[in-house]
Amino acid sequence: MLKQAPAALAALSLLAGVAGAQPPPGIPTPDPALMARLREVEAKARAMPDSPGDGPYAAIKEQVASLPHHVVYRPADLSRLGDHKLPILAWGNGGCSSDGAGQRQHLEEIASHGYLAIANGDIKSGPGVASQPDPGPRPKPGEPFKIPPAETSASQLIEAIDWAIAENARPDSPLYGKIDTGAIAVSGWSCGGVQALRIATSDPRVKAVVIHDSGLFPATSPMGEMNLPKSALDNLHTPIIYVLGGPSDIAYANGMDDYAHITKVPAMTVNMGDVGHGGTFYELNGGKAAQIAVAWLDWRLKGDTDASKLFVGADCSLCRDPDVKLQKKGID
């Protein structure tokens, strides 16, 4: 059993504007002691080191001049790929934030399994950052918390995909000829998951979708980047998986409601016990959520039959996992 993410991360995500369920008009500010604890959790999360991942290709993160305001995660030694081609994963950050290193443990793990993962934003936390950006004024006790505007957009996921395809065709690129341009996935956490859904329902190039702790609002969202109607789910053209944190996940209701609305493609929900909205993003190598994501991508993009055993059949690996509750349709 993998260690669960700190429960405080669910509240931290809410305070950061990473809302996955319809909030009341104003969110009351917690007491000062809770705020202090949340800031401590936040500081530890932002200070986490990089990881090479647990896959066969040690991963790195980098920013490249030809793709502004994105962070690229890839195998460090591209010469070790041999005939293996890197599928593309475009990632939307929690809170639609512009910290493209915020979920680095998760994305480094995916990259270490032979993927090119690209997150919206810049490197604003972790190794290589001299100082953390000022989070801005905090609400005083008794003042309502206002959800901040999104710092990134879904269109940046398209920019990432287009850039990767162009790099594969550019002779002087280190990625020249090393990318599988027909194997494209979108994914994201919370608000970033809605960004991924926006692309998954509109771009025919997408072949796999992984949505973490997220779901569409039943009505208008307080954050414009999350305004996508439930009817958009009818435009999904590829199988989709929702990885949720159980009933205490603030996105649980919306994610499960999305699943109920999806009728035209195979769909699956995996609830990791009751870890909450923070999932396992701040565990080493992304924890169980990253393992599930890698297996789904290996199955859907690489045709890996061993990876499919995690999901397919009444006796699937996740079906037998006592720490997981799942629902699926069209998968078997």
Its domain, for residue 127, covers 8-21+36-329
1 inside domain: no
**R_g (Cα) of the chain, nearest Å:** 19
Please give the Cα distance from 212 to 245 (Å, whole number): 9
278 confidence band (pLDDT: 50, 70, 90): confident
Residue 48 has pLDDT above 90, yes or no: no
pLDDT of 149: 78
pLDDT of 9: 42
**Over residues 166-193, mean pLDDT:** 97
29 inside domain: no
Q: Give 100-163 as a DSSP string.
A: TTTTHHHHHHHHHTT-EEEEESB--SSTT-SSPPP--PPPPTTSEE-PPPPSS-THHHHHHHHH
Q: Which position has the token pair 């009444």? A: 314
Q: What is the CATH number of the domain that holds 181?
A: 3.40.50.1820
**Side chain identity at 137, as an amino acid letter?**
P
pLDDT of 93: 95
- Model confidence pTM above 0.85: yes
**Over residues 133-140, mean pLDDT:** 56
28 inside domain: no
Instruction: Give the DSSP H/E element, type plus range, for residue 56.
Output: none
pLDDT of 274: 86
- The sign one gets for the Cα dihedral 315, 254, 43, 117 is positive
27 inside domain: no
Q: Which residue has the higher pLDDT, 173 or 44?
A: 173
**pLDDT tens readout for residues 215-251:** 998 876 556 667 799 999 999 999 999 999 999 999 9
Residue 275 has pLDDT above 80, yes or no: yes
Beta-strand ranges (E) seen in 44-115 are 59-62, 70-75, 86-92
Residue 268 has pLDDT above 90, yes or no: yes
Domain count across the chain:
1
